[in-house]
Amino acid sequence: SSGINAECPLRPGVGLGTWQSKKGEVGAAVEHALRNGYRHIDCAMVYQNEEEIGETFKKVFSEGVVKREDVFITSKLWNTYKRAEDVPKACAKTLKDLQLDYLDLYLIHWPVMFKPGENLFPTDADGKFIYDEQNPSFKETWNALEKLVDEGKVKNIGLSNFNKDQIAEVLEFARVKPASLQVESHPQLPNLELLDICKKNDIAFVAYSPLGNPGSVFRRPEQKNLLEDDDVKKIAAKHKKSAGQILIRYQVDKGNVVIPKSVTPSRIDENLDVFGFSLDETDMGVLNNLYKKIGPKGFRTCAVAHWGTHPNYPFKDEL
């Protein structure tokens, strides 16, 4: 399998995202996806639904619906587990919850560090986040991730929500190179500069929130719905596809991996049905420049500005 990164078989294409997929729904969504052609499932400890997904993995693998080695499974190291001694504990919990022997990819979910402990969102009496006073370096965390690769617990390691300077810092000392960068990307926030950095460094670019996150708790009231955008709708009519399919194909045509989230079977199928057509240069030009309708930086849905005081907050120039 010649992936984007020679060692990492993460091909341009569509995976299933599980962020904001509720307990009681997520297991059925993952099962439907795996029975209907999906071969990449994106998980994370902080989504607090890995146990239910694990039940589904156990079921579909034991029934022979699909083989474990044919599915690419990602999870993510949460902000409370950044110290060297805590990294293996987090990975062990995720593997146990997902009922797996190994992960295909393990990402550092965010560059910020929270106070270690059972509470995933440690806050003080005023509701402010409590950061890790040790503030472990990226190198400390990354070295611990490299050990997990050495031990066969994870096949690849990568980054999520890191900015260009933070990626450059990791590349300086990484013995095992980051296989992947997962960031928000859609025509309101194309993240073209990061895509360029990924191409230069042979890092697979994985786009989350490809539809601009229409159902997200993080949406801001003034945010325009991408699915209702006139330019997107025109391109959809031209190709006889839905607006959502255009936004997903936009990522595929850039050579990206894209992980739309849904728990609705018909939508899960529609999101994967983007391979019978491709967008032309005119379409791509319109979509690449659509952010300019909003402003010079476009629009980030998942800005987590409530962590803005952390020294490693990645989007400082947008605050």
Model pLDDT for residues 89-129, shown as the tens digit of each residue: 999 999 999 999 999 999 999 999 999 998 999 999 999 99
Q: How confident is the model at residue 5 (pLDDT cuts 50, 70, 90)?
A: very low
pLDDT of 3 over the 70 cut = no
Instruction: State the chain's mean pLDDT as an integer.
Output: 93
Say what the pLDDT of residue 7 is: 47
Can you tell me the mean pLDDT for 58-63? 98
Separation CA 27–CA 23 (nearest Å): 8
Catalytic residue, chosen from 47, 81, 250, 291, is 47
Question: By C-alpha distance, which of 136, 85, 90 is closest to 310?
Answer: 136
Residue positions counted in the chain: 319
pLDDT at 224: 80
What are the two backbone dihedrals, phi and then psi, of residue 8, each rounded to the nearest 5 degrees? -115, 110
Q: Report whether 227 contacts 244 (CB < 8 A).
A: yes
pLDDT, greater one: 151 or 1: 151
Angle in degrees, 0-180, between the axes of helices 87-98 and 138-150, rounded to the nearest 10: 50
Tokens linked to 210: 């490809």
pLDDT tens for each residue of 14-31: 999 999 888 899 999 999
Tens of pLDDT, residue by residue over 286-302, are: 999 999 988 888 889 89
Q: Are 180 and 159 in contact (CB under 8 A)?
A: yes
Q: How confident is the model at residue 10, as a pLDDT? A: 67
| pTM over cut 0.85 | yes
**Smallest Cα–Cα separation from 24: which of 51, 58, 52, 45?**
52
- If DSSP states are collapsed to H, E and C, what string results for 36-59? CCCCEEECCHHHCCHHHHHHHHHH
Task: Report the distance separating Cα 223 and Cα 207, nearest Å.
Answer: 19
Is 131 a residue of the active site?
no
